[in-house]
């Protein structure tokens, strides 16, 4: 069972801050330095001052980005910039956007979810994590004792029972409406005690698949283990929960940029992969659209990557025989991994050809992850990276299948779009 509960969310007081679109922000891990500056300038109360404070050369253990976030958080509560709701609620959240010419509306709700070890099989991860990111979030959690950004979770509800309750709530006026970047974000309170009880009870027989926020979940779990005597209600973490059967999930691929640990030689690389990969014609005029066209032209079931070497040079490569790579899987890993592009890339090419094992912390510095194809191309062109691998998106069905069996994909395997806004609702620990 998954233990969820309503909570008294801490919300921005729009009477003092101005409209919510001035104080919300994307998740911390997609905010660039330029975006950070823009958010700082947007509004003096933007949540970026909590989730991603600036760093300064004079920072030390007693005064740093985390202590500044904690001080700001305390001050905003004391001055009424942030106000706690009177009643425990689930917070219904919809995001409407256009995808491939069609209108899509993803609906879910914010709830507190009791953390538990993955070994119990109720909360299922699908990606490995990076130690540096977890330490960063742990420092923030220790300083502020609050969740500013929701973890993104998926649950199965084929009958749409929970969705029906959420849709009823959405007939009321939302307390937040944010139109931004082509996405319409709306939030409602759901505090009817009967409806709350029905949803809580329904989750007794459900599992939750973590779509996004693995680092924050593992951080929250570890924080509670270390601090449960002092901060009792840290057992729960804030999640956004949505029905994976609702046909409203959009998943983008996350591409890989590689800085080889050894001097990179394009010819040597191509020679090494020719035994196991079909290597397409090397083009000299590669651009974003041509890469996407090549990936889109692959047949269902093909494992393909587009390799980009910089200065317009690149080619499509395709695995010849998937089954040849079963022997490369680690002990205990399911054969289902052989059909997933991202797993094959990390095992066959990164680990066995480029000597970059992303499961090893020391190797993680050689890989950077980008959703924006144009940005990835530019980073290789400028010499910051030796090459880039462009991928097709990982199907949600495969993610679910492996996660429920207890297996994980390489870190940054999926990008669920759109990202959830930070600052809509805050979960503050009581003790």
Q: Which phi and psi (to 5°) does residue 372 adopt?
A: -75, 115
What pLDDT, in 10s, does the model give residues 350-393?
Answer: 988 999 988 888 888 999 999 999 999 999 999 999 999 999 98
Specify whether the CB–CB gap between 28 and 424 falls below 8 A: no
Return the minimum-mean-pLDDT range out of 110-114, 232-236, 255-259.
Answer: 232-236
End-to-end CA distance of the chain: 26
Per the prediction, the chain carries an average pLDDT of 90
> Does 329 score more than 70 pLDDT?
no
Q: What is the pTM of this model?
A: 0.86
What pLDDT, in 10s, does the model give residues 394-403?
Answer: 888 877 777 7
Q: Which two tokens stand for residue 312?
A: 């317009």
Specify whether the CB–CB gap between 319 and 378 falls below 8 A: no
Q: Which two tokens stand for residue 314?
A: 């690149």
What pLDDT, in 10s, does the model give residues 186-210?
Answer: 999 999 999 999 999 999 989 999 9
What pLDDT, in 10s, does the model give residues 42-100?
Answer: 999 999 999 999 989 888 888 999 999 999 999 999 999 999 999 999 999 999 999 88
Specify whether the CB–CB gap between 94 and 106 falls below 8 A: yes
Q: State residue 333's pLDDT score.
A: 64
Return the minimum-mean-pLDDT range out of 126-130, 263-267, 295-299.
Answer: 126-130
């Amino acid at each position: 069972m998954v233990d969820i509960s309503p909570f008294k969310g801490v919300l921005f007081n729009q009477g003092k801050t101005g409209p919510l679109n001035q104080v919300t922000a994307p998740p911390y891990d997609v905010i660039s330095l330029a975006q950070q500056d823009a958010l700082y300038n947007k509004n003096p109360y933007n949540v970026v001052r909590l989730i991603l404070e600036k760093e300064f050369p004079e920072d030390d253990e007693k005064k740093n980005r985390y202590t500044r976030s904690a001080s700001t958080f305390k001050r905003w509560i004391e001055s009424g910039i942030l106000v706690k709701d009177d009643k425990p609620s689930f917070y219904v959240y919809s995001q409407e956007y256009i995808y491939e010419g069609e209108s899509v509306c993803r609906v879910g709700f914010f709830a507190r979810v009791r953390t538990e070890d993955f070994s119990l099989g109720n909360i299922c991860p699908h990606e490995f994590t990076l130690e540096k990111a977890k330490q960063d979030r742990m420092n923030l959690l220790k300083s502020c004792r609050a969740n500013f950004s929701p973890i993104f979770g998926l649950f199965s509800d084929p009958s749409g029972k929970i969705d029906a309750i959420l849709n009823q709530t959405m007939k009321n006026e939302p307390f937040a409406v944010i139109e931004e970047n082509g996405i319409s974000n709306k939030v409602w309170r759901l505090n009817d005690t009967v409806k709350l009880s029905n949803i809580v009870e329904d989750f007794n027989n459900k599992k939750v698949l973590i779509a996004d926020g693995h680092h924050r979940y593992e951080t929250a779990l570890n924080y509670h283990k270390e601090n449960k005597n002092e901060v009792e209600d840290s057992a729960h973490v804030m999640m956004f929960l949505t029905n994976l059967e609702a046909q409203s999930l959009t998943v983008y691929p996350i591409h890989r940029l590689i800085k080889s640990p050894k001097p990179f030689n394009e010819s040597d690389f191509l020679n090494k992969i020719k035994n196991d990969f079909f290597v397409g014609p090397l083009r000299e005029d590669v651009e974003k659209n041509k890469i996407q066209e090549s990936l889109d032209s692959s047949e269902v079931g093909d494992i393909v990557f587009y390799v980009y070497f910089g200065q317009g040079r690149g080619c499509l490569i395709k695995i010849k025989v998937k089954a040849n790579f079963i022997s490369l899987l680690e002990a205990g890993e399911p054969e289902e991994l052989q059909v997933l592009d991202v797993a094959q890339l990390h095992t066959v090419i990164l680990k066995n050809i480029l000597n970059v094992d992303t499961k090893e912390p020391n190797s993680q510095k050689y890989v950077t992850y980008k959703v924006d194809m144009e940005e990835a191309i530019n980073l290789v062109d400028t010499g910051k990276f030796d090459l880039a691998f462009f991928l097709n998106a990982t199907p949600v069905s495969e993610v679910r299948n492996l996660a429920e069996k207890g297996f994980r994909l390489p870190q940054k395997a999926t990008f669920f779009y759109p990202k959830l806004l930070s600052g809509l609702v805050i979960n503050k620990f009581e003790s």
